[in-house]
Amino acid sequence: MDPRLKIILQGNPKEELSLLIRLTNEKKYPKNCKVVSQFGDIISCRVLRENLGSVYASLEVKSVKAPRVIPADDFEQENQAYYVETRHSVSNKQPSNVVFGLIDFGFDFTHQDFIDNGKTRFEKIWTQSGRFDGNKYGYGKMISGSQINDVLQEQFPFRKLGYHPGQSDLFGIGTHGTHVLGIACSNGKVSEKGFASNSPVIAVDMGSNLVNGSNLSLGDSVKLVEGLDFILREAGNRPVVINMSLGGHGDAHTGQTLVEQAIDAILTRRKGTAIVQSTGNYFQAKAHTFGDIKQNETIDIPWFFKKNDFTPNELEIWYDGNDIMSVTVIDENKNVLLKSIPFKDEMIVKNNEEVGICLHRKNEPNTGKNHINILINGKQNSKFWIVQLHGVKTANGRFHCYIERDDKGQSIFLPKMVKTTHTTNSICNSKYSIVVGAYNQTEKERSILSFSSSGPTIDGRMKPEVIAPGYKIKSSCSSSSRDVRAADKLCSKSGSSMAAPYVASLIVKILEKNPDFNIKQIRKKLFETCEPFSLKNDHLEVFRAGNGYVNPGKIIT
């Protein structure tokens, strides 16, 4: 059973749980399961806790996953806003036939970059953390373009709509969603004009909240899949490009999470559709290692914690389904906190207090791999632990180990053990999504930025597939929590989050000319226009560059 599923087993039996399920047959559903959205054999659904066991055991079900937190793929932001003295003139233009979809947080509909002729470019915003308005998904509220237009001239437009995009932005540094949207879709009044400057916008605000000390943590994997469903339903038969600059460190990195399988189902079944994702900013995170272990061999994996870190921490180990490994956990004082039996879930105890749990699963149904998940409740009170991995039976022996992202108290591996390849974000490894790394566009050498994550996927596929500008990108700045509407401001941010919407906007140009292109044709068109990346001293750089630099000139002409 999925580790997070085990954690939510206990509680009110009548509570409705949100889940992702992979069906054995996409036309047959388990009993006591309310389907909310479906892409191929992947469904999001609601199940009462008392029925979770029977649904899990149902012959109609191949895999059940509990929601997993999805953080924004942010990296660097300057605590400074840039005021623009003059606005560019914006001529009247025909709206694009291609919809720009965005799943993120904090969309400032009052910013001039998204208003043409006094009317909003937003067709609809689903604010998932808003007060429930009775929509089919069962949470959040939908804000239509006409509702936005009705309040644009009001003194307090955010209050009028009950949605403030900068509610989590206390210091006026700008929200992630507004900045990302400006890169792709700005009409040029304040920010530089985006390639999708006349596309209608459909946005999903997953909300921002404090999870593990991070205010960049958004909703979860279930809400993400339902956000995709919402955008595609609203887009109707029109071509659509969806940008998702989201993801964490963990999972198997084989493209087989249920989110990634849903993405591939969308892209292989719907023409005129592309999903663009950031590769992640984890190249230097010191959160990944891998190795090979022989039978009866023991490997020590030192796991270091920040001083006074009271946030939860998480470590995952993935290894071949035909192997058997056991785990021992020892603290810096050589106290044995856990000596595990393979495939048995056990508590981690320190000074007679439960400080965590080790969950060990055999043959996870989507990957076939075995999965060890160590979850700490924040009470470890240690400088470091030694995670000892022992090969009980090893025909293959390869393992990959990830520390999950924690923006307030990021724990790390011993630096000399760190591996920087296979560090793409947790949900960007599907076969057909287009994944983007970041380079420094201010340098003549156009070097890949130090933080931009590296592929390949664990199963050997190229991710990221292209690289785009991502260094101190100035784009639309949203209102802070103290503002009543947007000023004419820009803010600067760096990251693969900034590179992804640049590429997404270029794909809009491809689909404007070729609205019936399928995903293979879209990918081919994009990749064949790229300028190759020149390898110098480090041959591993190919795993960060993919097909090379996107070339807007070749795409547009």
Per-residue pLDDT tens digits for 135-160 = 999 999 999 999 999 999 999 999 99
Distance CA(394)–CA(510), nearest Å, equals 48
pTM of the model: 0.95
Q: Reply yes or no on whether the pLDDT at 204 is more than 90.
A: yes
pLDDT on residue 210: 38
Name the residue among 428, 417, 441, 447 with its Cα closest to residue 538: 447
Pull the structure tokens for residue 335: 């106290």
Average the pLDDT over each of 172-181, 214-223, 228-237, 454-463 and give the range with the smallest value: 214-223
Does residue 35 contact residue 45 with C-beta atoms inside 8 Å? yes
Examine the fold and report which residue of 364, 384, 417 is the final residue of a domain before the chain moves on.
417
Q: How many domains does the chain have?
A: 3
Q: Tell me: pLDDT of 347 over 90.
A: yes
Name the band, by pLDDT with cuts 50, 70 and 90, for residue 69.
confident
CB count in 10 Å sphere of residue 291: 14
The Cβ of residue 461 has, within 10 Å, a number of other Cβ atoms equal to: 15
Contact indicator for 490, 474 with CB cutoff of 8 Å:
yes
Beta strands in 434-488 (DSSP E): 434-439, 466-469, 473-476
Yes or no: say if 306 and 373 are a contact pair by the CB < 8 Å rule.
no
Q: What would the DSSP string read from start to end of 372-391?
A: EEEEE-S----SEEEEEEEE
Give the domain-ending residue among 382, 417, 452.
417
- Percent of residues, the chain, with pLDDT higher than 90: 84
The answer to whether 544 touches 467, Cβ cutoff 8 Å, is yes
Helices (H) and strands (E) in the chain, counts: 11, 31
pLDDT of 218 = 64
Using CA atoms, how far apart are residues 506 and 274, in angstroms rounded to an integer?
A: 11
Bigger pLDDT: 2 vs 144: 144
| Residue type at position 430 | S
Q: Domain holding 15: CATH number?
A: 3.30.70
For residues 168 and 175, the answer to whether their CB atoms sit within 8 Å is yes
User: pLDDT-derived band of residue 78, with 50, 70 and 90 as boundaries?
Assistant: low
Report pLDDT for 212.
34
CATH code, domain carrying 185? 3.40.50.200
Given 15, 44, 66, the domain boundary residue is 66
- Reduced to 3 states (helix: H, G, I; strand: E, B; else coil), residue 315 is strand
In angstroms, the CA 504 to CA 109 distance is 20
Rounded Cα distance, 348 and 336, in Å: 9
For residue 48, the 8-state DSSP code is E
The CA distance from 478 to 164, in Å, is: 10
Domain annotation covers residue 71: no
Residue 315 in any domain: the answer is yes
Residue 159 three-state SS: helix
Tokens encoding 451: 């933080």
CB atoms < 10 A from the CB of 90, how many?
Answer: 18
Question: Among 90, 133, 128, 88, which residue's Cα sits nearest to residue 107?
Answer: 128
- Structural domain span for residue 57: 3-66
pLDDT band of residue 215 (cuts 50, 70, 90) is very low
Q: In whole angstroms, give the CA distance from residue 21 to residue 154.
A: 44
On the question of pLDDT at 319 being above 70, the answer is: yes
Rounded to an integer, what distance in angstroms lies between the CA atom of residue 247 and that of residue 217? 9
54 and 89 fall within a common domain: no
> pLDDT tens-digit profile of 475-512?
999 999 999 999 889 999 999 999 999 999 999 999 99
Over residues 198-221, mean pLDDT: 71
**CA gap 43, 262 in Å, rounded:** 8
Contact between 19 and 44 under an 8 Å Cβ cutoff? The reply is: yes
C-alpha of 265 from chain center: 18
Residues 6+ apart with CB under 8 A from 79: 171, 172, 173
Do 162 and 249 lie in one domain? The reply is: yes
Residue 76 CA to its chain's centroid (Å):
17
Does 463 share its domain with 531?
yes
Q: Would residue 548 count as lying in a domain?
A: yes
Residue 143 lies in a domain: yes
Same domain, 257 and 191: yes
Q: Is 552 exposed, middle or buried (0-12, 13-18, 19+ CB in 10 A)?
A: middle
The answer on 505 and 394 residing in a single domain is: no
Both 127 and 205 in a single domain? Answer: yes
Q: Is the pLDDT of residue 363 over 80?
A: yes
pLDDT at 7 over 90: no
Residue 213 has pLDDT above 60, yes or no: no
**Given a cut of 80, is residue 15 above it in pLDDT?**
yes
Do residues 47 and 82 both lie within one domain?
no
Task: Return the amino acid letter for 3.
Answer: P
Specify whether 120 is located in the same domain as 251. Answer: yes
Q: What kind and span of H or E run contains 361?
A: strand 353-361
Contact indicator for 463, 279 with CB cutoff of 8 Å = yes
pLDDT of 44 strictly over 50 = yes
Strand positions, DSSP E, 24-132: 34-39, 42-48, 61-65, 69-71, 76-83, 99-104, 115-116, 119-120, 122-127
Report yes or no on 33 lying in a domain.
Answer: yes
Q: Which residue has the higher pLDDT, 69 or 315?
A: 315
Q: Are residues 251 and 301 in the same domain?
A: no
Q: Which residue type sits at 326?
A: S
Burial class of 420 by CB neighbour count within 10 A (0 to 12, 13 to 18, 19+):
middle
CA neighbor of 435 nearest in space, from 447, 459, 453: 453
Average the pLDDT over each of 47-51, 210-214, 422-426, 527-531 and give the range with the smallest value: 210-214
Q: Which amino acid is at 420?
A: T
In this structure, are 382 and 527 located in the same domain?
no
62 has which bridge partners?
Answer: none
Tell whether the model's pLDDT for residue 214 goes beyond 50: no
Query: Residue 438 pLDDT > 70, yes or no?
Result: yes
- Chain-wide mean pLDDT for the chain? 93
Statement to judge: residues 410 and 530 lie in one domain: no
Closest CA to 126 of 48, 236, 201: 201
- Tell whether 124 and 198 lie within a shared domain: yes
pLDDT tens-digit profile of 87-141? 665 655 788 999 999 999 999 999 999 999 999 999 999 999 999 999 999 999 9
Per-residue pLDDT averaged across 336-349, rounded? Answer: 95
Q: Find, among 90, 44, 89, 87, the residue nearest to 66 by Cα.
A: 44
pLDDT value of position 260: 98
Whichever domain contains 362, its CATH number is 2.60.120.1290
Report how far residue 533's alpha carbon sits from residue 548's, in angstroms, rounded to the nearest whole number.
5
User: What whole-number percentage of the chain has pLDDT above 70?
Assistant: 95
What's the token pair of residue 22?
């992979």
SS (H, E, C) 227-258: HHHHHHHHHCCCCEEEEECECCCCCCCCCCCH
pLDDT value, residue 89: 55
Other beta carbons less than 10 A from residue 334's beta carbon: 7
Per-residue confidence (pLDDT) for residue 170, from 0 to 100:
76
